[in-house]
Chains A and B, each alone.
Chain A
Amino acid sequence: QKEVEQDPGPLSVPEGAIVSLNCTYSNSAFQYFMWYRQYSRKGPELLMYTYSSGNKEDGRFTAQVDKSSKYISLFIRDSQPSDSATYLCAMSLFSGLYNQGGKLIFGQGTELSVKP
């Protein structure tokens, strides 16, 4: 079993829809959670970063972390065709202040297509 599980999709939605992307994980020690967006043949772009449980909002994007369920989500409101990409969740055990900080464990990525 992988440490981080993510449905690869593909997920297809109409423009304007609310998109929900999710990851589950097995290691309860993960403390830092990120979402990256990756366009085809490009590097991952950091979208959201959260620490521990709770919600974080940035424009049309909301990240949620539920450590009790080992479940994280990314919501995209008013989705646009330009949001079509692969979304990667990633998580880390330690703060950047520690020697092991920054070693990210990624999910497989969910391919999202937003149709005009």
Chain B
Amino acid sequence: DTGVSQDPRHKITKRGQNVTFRCDPISEHNRLYWYRQTLGQGPEFLTYFQNEAQLEKSRLLSDRFSAERPKGSFSTLEIQRTEQGDSAMYLCASSSLSGNTIYFGEGSWLTVV
């Protein structure tokens, strides 16, 4: 069990640039989640996939954000035209379909300058 893997771990980008994060879930897990966490706050739900289907998106996920999970394996989260307010840690998590235990990756830190 290699756990949930996220890449890159850190990204510094200029305002207006696009960034993409990748997540590889635990191999047998059907569900994959994206959360965002800012300093001093708990993670906030962004979106989740069951296999390749995106089943729910939070209103926090503006039009500049898009997530995909082709073939129900890894997932990508893209942020277009980044803003300073996008600076946060982006967390990926996964779980099995029948389980309620959700495992998080180490996160991808984004700093927009």
Residues of A within 8 A of B (CB): 4, 6, 8, 32, 34, 36, 41-46, 49, 51, 88, 90, 92, 95-97, 99-109
Contact = CB atoms under 8 A, between A and B. Distances in A.
B43 A106 contact: yes
B42 interface: yes
Interface residues of B, number: 31
A102 B95 contact: yes
User: From DSSP, what is the main secondary structure of chain A's interface residues?
Assistant: loop
15 contacts: A34-B101, A41-B109, A42-B106, A43-B4, A43-B91, A92-B100, A96-B99, A99-B55, A101-B100, A102-B48, A102-B102, A104-B45, A107-B42, A108-B40, A109-B42
B44 interface: yes
Nearest to B105: A43
Interface in B26-82: 31, 33, 35, 40-45, 48, 50, 55-56
Nearest to B32: A102
Contact of A43 (B45, B55, B101, B104): B104
Given A104-B43, A109-B42, A96 B48 contact: no
